[in-house]
Structure 1
Amino acid sequence: MNARHQRRYRRLFQGALPLLMVLTLLMSVPAVAAPPHQLCRTDQLERCTRELPLSWREALSTLASSTALPGKERGSPTLPNLLRRLLDGQGGMTLLLAEEALILLNPEVLKRTHLVLLDAHLYEQPSLRSFRSTYYHEVGHVATRHSPWLEQLQRSDWPGHWPEEVLADLYLYWRLLREGAEEEELWAQLHLRNIGLIQARPDWAHWSTPVLMPLLCRFEEVRVWSDWPFPAFLNAALADTDWPLSAYRGLGDRQFALTAPAIHQSYLFADHRERWAALLAPTLAWLGVDVPAYLSRHQLPLVPDSCAMELSQ
């Protein structure tokens, strides 16, 4: 082969290198087929609503004319305004028809910093929300809409939507782990769930922390599980469902109320106070709270290592 041909083939090979590297990367990531769904971002709603299938445009038009729509003004809102109202300041949500799904995402909300008022002190931290995590959580609602775990996780004394949120968070973990996510990104979801409690009306419907914490404390083992099909991953993650949720709610409703905290009595849910503190401590530390001082003020035991306690259960 002469020098001119050698240079030609060298250029062709070098030009193919980026494609080869991309193909190699794609082959190294386990393929996951997301369940069918439509996706609309709030910064692209006008175009997105025009391109929605007829079934969705008809369903949304019917909803727009409903008298039950919150914040309804005179006349029916346009479809983009309807979707903005439905989101109502949330970063994401999923709408379901019989066999169809529409995911709404608000990138601006996802960027907002966290402002947390705790014991009359305001803490501010950068957003934990990412587009990828929020999207995968919403896809999780679609992927688990027919899961038998929805019924198995139901509790008569607990918010009815809690099983849906737990399964969506577990789907999020499964997807992130399959893509090689670091622990920090998975911890972010737990922190978000704990932050949702630290308000006058704690958000128990999204509080998946008792389910997520054991997985984070066995991170390498759970990463292996992520190679399994999602139903098998779910079964492993939910092998132990004996959570004392009522006790946690009794503590949280008192601890985060606007009135003076009322959990100082150490006998109140005494058997569960240590694990309750362990579930909160990582998030308190992330916020920048003086954790020992905070726990002491609330007569909660100091747990030096939340995962050490979790693994001893």
Structure 2
Amino acid sequence: MIWLALALSAGFYWTDVGPKQALVCQVTELESCLANLSTQVRRQLPQTIDGLNHAMARRGAMVLPLVDTEVSGLILISPSHIPQTILVDLSGELHSFPLVESQKLTLWHELGHLQAAVLVDKGLMEGLTDYQHEWVADCYLVWRSARETQGLDLAWQQYHRRNIDVMKDVSFMSHWTVPVLSQLLSRYNLEELTRFATFDALMRDFLPQLEQANQDTLDEFSSLIHRSFSTQASLHLPSYMYWRKPALRQYFESTLVSLLGRDGANLWLQEQSMLMTL
């Protein structure tokens, strides 16, 4: 069995994923990193370094699940493509949101994708959609960050980042995990989260109580988010998707406060006819 979290070099190392391990590689160390995989495992990957770089494109990270008794997957990290801050235009004014420990959170999210396979193997979930993969990965990030930092600041940072991404562009709805993260962060405080020794123990407790939005609901939120935040949506329609506005306010209010302050958030909510919808 591969040794737990064996640091092979500054550019690549092994880390636990359930009963298996994942190999984490910086893209600048691909050749020496891949040499640590067996020939059988290598056959499951693009056959050249150029092929892997092409698959990676300009992403900050990518996970490649593998079929093997010991290796769960390969995670590629490109630090130069991991943002340290994000910008969003709200009501014609540009606001910045700093991303602390962004490389670490990126890694934890990618590890979360591999943890999703562990949940399936243990019968806790089945037939995961791409969207379910994303919120499982972010749930892992929340649990891991809580245990590693003994705090929830990084968990809330990820929550806000998911909101800000869709504020900027609703094409990020595929990664809008906030409807699940809001339930996770509401149900468990820091002490309760850190009490779970493993991620699957947390999910065994959380999943039976989780309310999952169907695609029609997500599509309605996508439409309302676009109408509310897009700089192209100039026509004011206060009753548009009114039945979704209470939940939208619930999901976005803390993010708006982090960007605009309490007074600014209240003003924005009032302009969007959401201030009195709770």
How do 1:95-134 and structure 2 match up within 5 A?
A: 95-99=64-68, 100-134=72-106
Unmatched tracts of structure 2, length 5 or more: 1-15
Equivalent of residue 252 in structure 2, options 277, 280, 300: 280
* Other-structure match for 2:205: 236
Check if 1:40 corresponds to 2:14. Answer: no
* Other-structure match for 1:143: 115
Aligned-pair distance for 1:280? Answer: 1.0
What letter corresponds to residue 117 of structure 2 in structure 1? Answer: R
Aligned-pair distance for 1:161? Answer: 1.0
Aligned-pair distance for 1:174? Answer: 2.2
* Other-structure match for 2:44: 59
Aligned-pair distance for 1:44? Answer: 2.5
- CA deviation profile, 1:78-127 (whole Å, cap 9, x unmatched): 50x43333222222221123344111112223353212233332222322
| Greater radius of gyration (CA) | 1
C-alpha separation between the residues in 2 aligned to 1:204 and 1:91?
18
Residue 219 and residue 61 in structure 1: after superposition, are their counterparts in 2 closer, same or farther (change >3 A)? closer
C-alpha separation between the residues in 1 aligned to 2:101 and 2:89?
19
In the superposition, the TM-score normalised over structure 2's length comes to 0.76
* Other-structure match for 1:295: 269
Aligned-pair distance for 1:255? Answer: 2.5
User: Alignment partner of 2:64: what SS?
Assistant: strand
C-alpha separation between the residues in 1 aligned to 2:65 and 2:30?
18
Aligned-pair distance for 1:37? Answer: 1.5
Equivalent of residue 141 in structure 2, options 172, 196, 210: 172
C-alpha separation between the residues in 2 aligned to 1:171 and 1:274?
27
User: Alignment partner of 1:170: what SS?
Assistant: helix
User: Alignment partner of 1:299: what SS?
Assistant: coil
C-alpha separation between the residues in 2 aligned to 1:224 and 1:51?
34
* Other-structure match for 2:6: none
Root-mean-square deviation (Å): 2.9
C-alpha separation between the residues in 2 aligned to 1:138 and 1:276?
27
What letter corresponds to residue 86 of structure 1 in structure 2? Answer: A
Aligned-pair distance for 1:242? Answer: 4.8
Q: Contact 1:194–1:283 (CA<8 Å) still a contact in 2?
A: yes
Unmatched tracts of structure 1, length 5 or more: 1-31, 63-77, 155-159, 304-308
Aligned-pair distance for 1:285? Answer: 2.3
How do 1:232-271 and structure 2 match up within 5 A?
A: 232-238=201-207, 239-243=209-213, 244-261=217-234, 264-271=236-243
User: Alignment partner of 1:301: what SS?
Assistant: coil
Q: Which one has the bigger strand percentage?
A: 2
* Other-structure match for 1:157: none
Residue 98 and residue 128 in structure 1: after superposition, are their counterparts in 2 closer, same or farther (change >3 A)? same
In the superposition, the TM-score normalised over structure 1's length comes to 0.69
C-alpha separation between the residues in 2 aligned to 1:102 and 1:138?
10
User: Alignment partner of 1:38: what SS?
Assistant: strand
Q: Contact 2:17–2:114 (CA<8 Å) still a contact in 1?
A: no
Q: Contact 1:113–1:125 (CA<8 Å) still a contact in 2?
A: yes
What letter corresponds to residue 251 of structure 1 in structure 2? Answer: L
Residue 266 and residue 144 in structure 1: after superposition, are their counterparts in 2 closer, same or farther (change >3 A)? same
